[in-house]
């Protein structure tokens, strides 16, 4: 073998080794979920008698479907609203010259530094006063418009050429028409990245649902899973593993579906930002 071939072999061996680290825990969990009742949880890594019983149990013996439903609703509200509101605000901050723009932008960027844990208690109280506790809308309030989303969209709008927008104005279009028909299609990769971020965050959010939800009928998957795992050393580990795998599948599917746009959108943003 010549040196290029050796090099390739080395690159692939390293890449496969890292894959074992990044994907290994999923497989380990999947194998535990597939183990039958006759096999101990930690009794070997591979299931000797693979069965889907634990997945069926996850649906039948827990409120998994209820948790799934809650999570789907919350995510289905959060993603479109964050895309809409963040791209509106980001557009104004990138393209329209107006008094107060730099103040608004500075405030929005500054809030990105503030840890959620600082204001979670006042937010908890406000949510109660506004009747948002134990509601689906209440679980979306951190995601329906985000400082990060606005900043991210603003950067994207700054990076697309103005020419198309200017010719649309000459044709008599107003700001809203130009934003929606001309500018939005140009930032599609960034919108998709923001959609994935928002989806991932909302689907897996833990701390806010934990404090804003007191009724088990409103639990999201994350809270439901955490509750199930309270008795972690009990016999329900296979069930928890199955539920964990099921919880992850939607995230994985959406990511794999959109990853082509996502990774390019993200690298563009990072390159130019």
Partner 1 sequence: MSRITFSLTKKRMIKNITPWLFLLPSIVILVTFLIIPIVEAFQWSFLDYKIIAGTSEFVGFSNFKEIFSDELFWKALVNTVLYVAIVLPLNVFLPMILADLVNQKVRAVGLFRVLYYLPVVTPIVVAALMWKMLYSQDGALSNFLVGIGIIDDPINFLTNSTTALMVVAFITVWKGLGYYMIIYLANLQSIPNQLYESASIDGANSIQKFTKITMPMTVPSMTLVSVLTIINGLKVFEEIALTTNGGPAGATTTLVMYIYDKFMNLEVSIASAAGLVLLVLAIVASLLQMRLTSKREDDLRA
The window from 17-25, 48-56, 165-173, 183-191 that contacts partner 1 (CB under 8 A) reads 17-25
Helices 53-60 and 64-95 pack at an angle, to 10 degrees, of 80
- Does 169 bind partner 1 (CB under 8 A)? Our answer is no
In angstroms, what is the minimal distance from the CB of 53 to partner 1? 19
- Does 181 bind partner 1 (CB under 8 A)? Our answer is no
Helices 64-95 and 237-272 pack at an angle, to 10 degrees, of 10
Site for partner 1 in 28-67 (CB under 8 A): 28-29, 32, 41-42, 45
C-alpha–C-alpha distance, residues 15 and 235, integer Å = 36
Burial profile 50-83: b = 16 or more Cβ within 10 angstroms, e = fewer: ebebbbebbeeebbbebbbebbeebbebbbeebb
Site for partner 1 in 203-232 (CB under 8 A): 203-204, 206-207, 211, 221-222, 225-226, 229, 232
The window from 51-59, 60-68, 124-132, 162-170 that contacts partner 1 (CB under 8 A) reads 124-132
| Residue 203 neighbours by CB under 8 Å, 6+ apart | 71, 75, 221, 250, 251
Binding residue for partner 1 (CB under 8 A) from 114, 181, 214, 217?
114
- Does 119 bind partner 1 (CB under 8 A)? Our answer is yes
- Does 96 bind partner 1 (CB under 8 A)? Our answer is yes
């Amino acid at each position: 073998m010549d040196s290029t071939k050796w090099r390739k072999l080395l690159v692939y061996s390293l890449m496969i080794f890292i894959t074992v680290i990044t994907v290994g825990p999923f497989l380990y969990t999947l194998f535990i979920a597939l183990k039958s009742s006759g096999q101990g949880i930690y009794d070997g890594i591979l299931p000797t008698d693979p069965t889907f019983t634990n997945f069926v149990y996850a649906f039948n013996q827990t409120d998994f479907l209820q948790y799934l439903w809650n999570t789907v609703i919350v995510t289905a509200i959060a993603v479109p609203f964050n895309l809409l509101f963040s791209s509106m605000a980001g557009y104004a901050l990138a393209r329209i010259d107006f008094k107060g723009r730099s103040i608004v932008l500075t405030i929005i960027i500054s809030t990105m530094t503030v840890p959620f844990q600082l204001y979670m208690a006042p937010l908890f109280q406000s949510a109660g006063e506004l009747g948002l506790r134990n509601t689906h809308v209440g679980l979306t309030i951190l995601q329906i418009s985000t400082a990060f989303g606005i900043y991210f969209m603003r950067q994207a709008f700054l990076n697309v050429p103005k020419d198309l927008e200017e010719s649309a104005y000459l044709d008599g279009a107003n700001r809203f028409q130009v934003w929606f028909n001309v500018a939005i299609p140009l930032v599609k990769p960034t919108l998709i990245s923001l959609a994935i971020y928002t989806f991932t965050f909302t689907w897996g959010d833990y701390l806010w649902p934990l404090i804003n939800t007191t009724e088990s009928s409103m639990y999201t998957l994350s809270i439901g899973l955490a509750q199930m795992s309270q008795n972690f050393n009990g016999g329900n580990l296979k069930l928890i593993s199955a539920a964990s795998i099921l919880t992850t599948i939607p995230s994985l599917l959406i990511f794999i579906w959109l990853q082509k746009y996502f990774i390019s959108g993200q690298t563009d943003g990072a390159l130019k930002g």
